[in-house]
Amino acid sequence: MKSYPKIIDRILEVIRESKTFCIVGHIRPDGDCVGSQLGLTLALQNEGKKALCWNEDSLPQKYKFLNAAGLFQKPKSGGKFDCVIATDCASFERLGKVGKCIAHRKVFINIDHHESNTRYADVNWVSAREPSCGELIYRLLKVARWPITRPIADCLFTAVSTDTGSFQYSTTRPGTFHAGAELVTRGANLAKICDEVYQSYPLSRARLLKHIYSRFHLTHGDRIGWFWLKKIDFARTGAESADTEGLIDHIRAIEPVVVACVFEEIEPELTRISLRSKSDKVNVNEIAAQFDGGGHPAAAGARIAGKPLSVQRRVIAAIKLALGSTR
């Protein structure tokens, strides 16, 4: 298989020489992060390795069906590992509290597809060409010739599907369809995945969506769509932060909108922003980088300190500047 053979060989060499593993991922895990973490953990365990799966945050409700074995856990201090593998995490800081719990390790491996990845590990396999980290894990398993069981297929198909917008985003490549097809052949349960991930939302999320549709804003010739999510909005709707995944796409889908932005209140003077672009001429990773964030050209984010209105003005101004040359 012709897919980064040198770096894959190096990773497999480390895995062969190691017995104890910890698979970690970014805070506020999405489908790609969850699927990549759990899929790799299961594969390592099937190879007779001792592997834990740690994340600072709890598993979002819609991905709990992937965690039948209860592998997805909060980190614990005092762990010692031969090898730690981070999946779908662009920077060490994005690991959150997990970072302090994996200090006692021999080798640190970073497998990711974010353009903004900081190459923070001992061994770094970063391929921004791939639309999902799940596809990288799939290729690793293929080169290793490890069996892809039905639970692993479910995890990796979920990872690939969610980070490609169900194979709709422009980043989706021919190889992505081949990977998806083989994962279905290996037993990925399409009906179950689609029901759990895309067709089963809590009522609280519907209430949050109602709030968004009644409060979103359009500016700059309707080419920028944005909305706020304040703590009071979560309190009123009963929603949790995990319920916000994918909400930005409802605003991004408005025909004139080129860039969509969500401002989410974390603390009174700390705001999380999420950015989406549907134009290859507007790279939101570059916009996020201005605020010490990052991601992909079409999807990125950052955390910004400052008064909410000031943050809003700075971010909207940066988006307008990026849109300036695309008229």
**Alpha carbons 327 and 320: distance in angstroms, whole number:** 11
* Cα atoms in the 13 Å half-sphere on the side-chain side of 266: 14
Query: Mean pLDDT in the chain?
Result: 94
Q: 5-42: per-residue pLDDT in tens?
A: 599 999 999 999 999 999 999 999 999 999 999 999 99
Report pLDDT for 2: 46
Report pLDDT for 326: 55
> 306 or 326, which is more confident?
306
Helix (H, G, I), strand (E, B) or coil at 23: strand
Q: Average pLDDT in the 159-182 region?
A: 92
Judge whether residue 130 has pLDDT over 70: yes
Longest dimension (CA), the chain: 58
Judge whether residue 325 has pLDDT over 70: no
135: left (phi over 0), alpha (psi -120 to 50) or beta: alpha
Question: Model-level pTM?
Answer: 0.89
Which distant-in-sequence residues (6+ apart) come within 8 Å of 56 by Cβ?
Answer: 27, 74, 75, 95, 96, 97, 98
Judge whether residue 239 has pLDDT over 50: yes
Judge whether residue 43 has pLDDT over 50: yes
Measuring CA to CA, how many Å separate 7 from each of 13, 137, 171, 280?
Answer: 10, 13, 22, 29
Q: 270-296: per-residue pLDDT in tens?
A: 999 999 999 989 999 999 999 999 998
* Cα atoms in the 13 Å half-sphere on the side-chain side of 325: 6
Inter-residue contact 78 to 22 (CB < 8 Å): no
Judge whether residue 3 has pLDDT over 60: no
Q: Average pLDDT in the 202-207 region?
A: 92
Inter-residue contact 60 to 13 (CB < 8 Å): no
Measuring CA to CA, how many Å separate 20 from each of 50, 71, 250?
Answer: 5, 15, 42
Judge whether residue 223 has pLDDT over 90: yes
Domains of the chain: 5-198 (3.90.1640.10), 203-323 (3.10.310.30)
* Cα atoms in the 13 Å half-sphere on the side-chain side of 291: 28
**Alpha carbons 248 and 261: distance in angstroms, whole number:** 7
What whole-number percentage of the chain has pLDDT above 70?
Answer: 98
* Token digits of residue 297: 């050209």
